[in-house]
Each structure stands twice: as C-alpha cells, then as structure tokens.
Amino acid sequence: MIIAERKPIAEIVEMTRDHEKILVLGCRGCVTVCSAGGEREVELLASLLRLGAKKEGRKIEVQEGSLVRQCDKEYVDSLDSWNGEYDAIVSMACGVGVNFIANLRSSTMVYPAVNTTFFGGSPEQGIWTEQCAGCGNCVLHLTGGLCPVARCAKSLMNGPCGGSQNGKCEIHSEVDCIWQMIHDRLEHLDRKEQMLEVAPIRDWRTAGHGGPRKTKRDDLTI
C-alpha cells in the first residue's frame, strides 16, 4: 500500500492561512490503513486547525469528510453533492489523491496534509517499510522476491556493491544490504546459481524517468 505521514500541524496551518472555510478530506484507502489520513485523523486535524485559528484570533470554519478513494474520478465527483460550503480542501490522501482533486476541480484550492513516502508493508504494528518503487518492470523473479530497486540504496541490478559489510548497507549502516539478503535467500532456496546471472543494462524509462506513466487495460475500458 501507499504509505504516508501527516505533515507537521504548523505547516498545514501556514499553507491554509488565507482560507476561512476549509474541508478536511480523508481517504478510506491506504492512508486509513497506515493511520495517516482516515476518518480518525480527519477529526484530529480538523480540531487542531480550529484550535490553531482560535489561538491566533482568526475566524475559521472547518468541515470534515472522507471519500472511499480520492484517486478515482467517480468518488471525487461525489463532492458535487457536498452540502457544506468550503473554499479550500485539505486532502489527507496520498499525493495521488491531491493530484486527482486538483485535476478535477479547477476552482478549488487543494492542499496536501500528508507527506507521501513510499509503497510498503507493515511487519509489525506502527512500523512500515518500503518494498516496491513501482519501477514498471518487475525483476522479483530474478531476485528471490526481494526488490533491489526500492531496497538497495543504489538500485543496483547486479549486487552487492563493494561497500556491503557484514550484511549491512554502506549507505545506511542500520539497514540490511538487500543484495546480501537476496544472496542468502537464494542460497536457502537452493537457487544460488541465479546470483551468477548478470542482469542486462536496464531501461529505466518504465520507472517514470521519461515522464508520467499511464496504464490502459482494454478489457476494463468502456
């Protein structure tokens, strides 16, 4: 899922200072699961914004809402039937949701309330770790299911590099070297010979370096 964390409240107050009627809008997708932008977080942020304005003697009206997903036109369009008035949306969705609202609602300012950080999973409660960088050309079948794009500091396709020390990455000494992990896992699976295959030079255009990417599924389009 997409992982995000709420921006510091002072930053959100600063970016929304010009507005008197704000809709704090959560998303019931990934940001709810990682406790960054679900209904609970909407309630908390709305209260903090009201308190902040009160402390500064500013008049402010903060409404609360949430969409099933902010990354889907169908749900963003449902804002048309919103009853309250607002002149800005503070989105608690990931950056995709903020972009989607900005694309579809040309007359409304939209502000990001969270920092979108990575695609990850949760190995234990309250902790999320990056697992995938959405590179558009998955190589996990070659690497024992462990991602060298997202999890190697240099995104090496043929690792480890010379800096790998005692199983740790030379860039971050507290982080396991993913190429050591790939080696150990392939060895454990009795597939260590896969380490000897040299991956060809990679075409990074699928990773978005050539501009925004788009996927079209003909079987799903109308």
Binding residues vs ligand SF4 (CB under 6 A): 132-135, 138-140, 147, 149-150, 152-154, 156, 159-161, 163-164, 169-171, 177-179
84 vs 167 by CB, closer to ligand SF4 = 167
d(CA 79, CA 201): 46
5 vs 118 by CB, closer to ligand SF4 = 118
CB 152 within 8 A of CB 178: yes
94 vs 150 by CB, closer to ligand SF4 = 150
Cα dist from 34 to 23, 94, 128, 181, whole Å: 21, 11, 8, 26
Residue whose pair of structure tokens reads 């950080």 in the numeric block: 117
* In the complex, least distance from residue 124 CB atom to ligand SF4, rounded to whole angstroms: 21
CB hemisphere CA count around 126 (13 angstroms): 0
* In the complex, least distance from residue 171 CB atom to ligand SF4, rounded to whole angstroms: 5
| Share of the chain residues as helix, strand and coil, in percent rounded to the nearest 5 | 30, 20, 45
CB 67 within 8 A of CB 31: no
Residue 62 corresponds to which tokens in the numbers above?
Answer: 């903060």
* In the complex, least distance from residue 186 CB atom to ligand SF4, rounded to whole angstroms: 15
30 vs 53 by CB, closer to ligand SF4 = 30
48 vs 140 by CB, closer to ligand SF4 = 140
* In the complex, least distance from residue 161 CB atom to ligand SF4, rounded to whole angstroms: 3
* In the complex, least distance from residue 144 CB atom to ligand SF4, rounded to whole angstroms: 12
